[in-house]
Chain A
Amino acid sequence: MPIVDRRLTTPDLYRLIAAALIVLGLGLGGTALATVHQRAALTRDITAVTGPLSVGVQDLYRSLSDADATAATAFLTSGAEPAELRQRYLDDLARAGAALTAATRNADDADAARLAVLTDQLPVYTGLVETARSYNRLGVPLGGAYLREASGLMRHTLLPQAQGLFESAQGRLSAAQRDAVGFPWAVLLLGLLTVAGLVYAQVLLARRTNRVFNLGLVAASLVALLALVWSAAGLSAAASRVDAGRGDGSALVSVLAGARRAALQARADEALTLIARGSGAAFEKDYRVVAQDLAGLLGTAADRAPEADRAVILAARDHAVRWGELHDGMRALDDKGDYLAAVAKASATGAAFTELDTAMTSALATANDRVDRQAGHGGGALTGLEVGLLLLTAGLVAAIVLGFRPRIGEYR
């Protein structure tokens, strides 16, 4: 850039200033447009990809864990396997399959590795469960051995991978949310610079031409202000929506999903304690630990949840407490030697679990929905902004050109 010559002619000075203002205006327009475009893409990503992905892998974990607990419960039932348990198991598998297909669509490399384990091993798992069923029907204990092997595969191989998928999905979601709520410093800075530049140009022109107003530059200033205010308002409205979706939505989802995981594990522990018949102390100990986690997480969820969600979470907590009482009654029966009565109680604890599961599923659905809805509203706040910014930038440049052209023309 050459140093400005003291003997710079007036029209050249005007041209230089006009060019500088046009560059600033284009910079403002381009930056605002890029920011809005990126934010709109992020909110679309939350509603269309990362949000549903998180919901899908929550379903995956629940379906797999429930399939395991249901198979164990069916095994405990003597005689023919109850049709509703069989149906529940099959439904779990169908949901897990659908969730796997959906998760595959948007997997990154780490997720693809987890999904490979799940898609390889899920058919192996179901094969073991079917082998167990066949031997059960023959009335031989070999079925129990296959069921234990299947359950081990589920708990030690499949569920940790599903949990990994959930954590990765939550990570992607919160990264998208974080990126979508950052303050648009560049837009603000360029906007202020542009407005300041325009004001300076008008002061300069007013001094040199004795005309108080240059209509072009006044218009350009208004357009620049409008662009700045509209972008700032749109972006911060979008950001606060997405942020609300994070606070009342995905943060709550993480807590509730943790609670549901604890509940599912407690139910599997309960069945496995009975199946182990007297040597299940380790399962019962694990039950105590996860039941305590469950109570803690439901408490946290109730504290954090928006008012509207609290009722269903408190209902879930009541179900959990009732389940705990039934469980203690069942353990007391088993511990004093009445094993078959304890097994008979398992259907009551199962019913309490199902109520708890239903309440948590409904709370999770509300929270997941909020992530989606708030991101959708956030995207809505940006509606028209992209087109508007294009037009405003064009208008800004045109107004600058129109403001300077007659002044430059006077020197021809």
Chain B
Amino acid sequence: MGQSPKGRAEGPARHATPAVPGRFDALPEIVRHQPDRETYLGFYRMMLLIRRFEEKAGQLYGMGLIGGFCHLYIGQEAVVTGLQAAISPGRDSVITGYRDHGHMLACGIPAKAVMAELTGRAAGISKGKGGSMHMFSVEHGFYGGHGIVGAQVPIGAGLAFAHKYRADVLGEEGGVCLAYFGDGAANQGQVYEAFNMAELWKLPVVFVIENNQYAMGTSVNRASAEDQLYRRGESFRIEGLQVDGMDVLAVRGAATLAIDWARTRGPILLEMKTYRYRGHSMSDPAKYRTRDEVSQVREQQDPIDQAGREIVALGLATDAELKAIDREVRAEVAEAADFAEQAPEPELAELFTDVLVERA
């Protein structure tokens, strides 16, 4: 011990986009998505909604309106925006860990219901009983919101098992599960138990590693013997693909490939190279990386700025039109925050409901 791993630099992690994204030979190359105007503006708006929502959540936390743990998604918006655009709500399923606000918004869950959950109000999506890390929406096919690192991965494999079973045994329409987890969760043993069964049974699941470079304060290459996380399925014969997670169109292109693969052949692993601007949670001292590192990514690779520049360069919209979208989004978020502040807390009687399913 005490030696640095062979061929790996110590100190701050390499960040974001590798020069040539890694992939297994069996997989075709990612075709960067070519959106029409409406689609690209839709991506831009969704990423902006997540950004402004999270900024507002950070403010409400600072004001004491949100308590407990609160993990913000700022910087990672392109990942969930690009992936969610490729699935069919109502047919497919989505599951993630505790950094889940962005996933809920991208699933189409109203910002009000998510923000009111954060403030612990009766109008929250979980009636105020779940909080930041534990939100669900049966209606939108969103299966949580799980606070135990890595637990969502076998559960996601189980959702995929249900998709396959419902198609094969019950003759219903099949679906695909998108199971998101972080680079930290990628070191949990249960992830590999899930990989094994998923490939063994050819379950329709896309495992998405959101590699934001840090598991709390530990950089990927201080925690992972194999830090090219797209290869983590190799010993289970799961094909893997590394994607620039700061480029929403690259993500969207990878999503098409991955979802098609999962529907027809079984599990696939996407490593999304991304970056989290904020701390792990609101109480992160941020001693493990430099301010320069963060600002460099923000300036050079910000997913929203990159998309905005491209939209303007392609002539799909003007700067003024993008500013108008920002104003709209800010208004929507402000409304959600006002609602979440003013909505009443749950009735005390709610303490004892929903422990078990209520019997008629």
Determine if chain A interacts with chain B: no
Which A residues have a C-beta under 8 Å from some C-beta of B? none
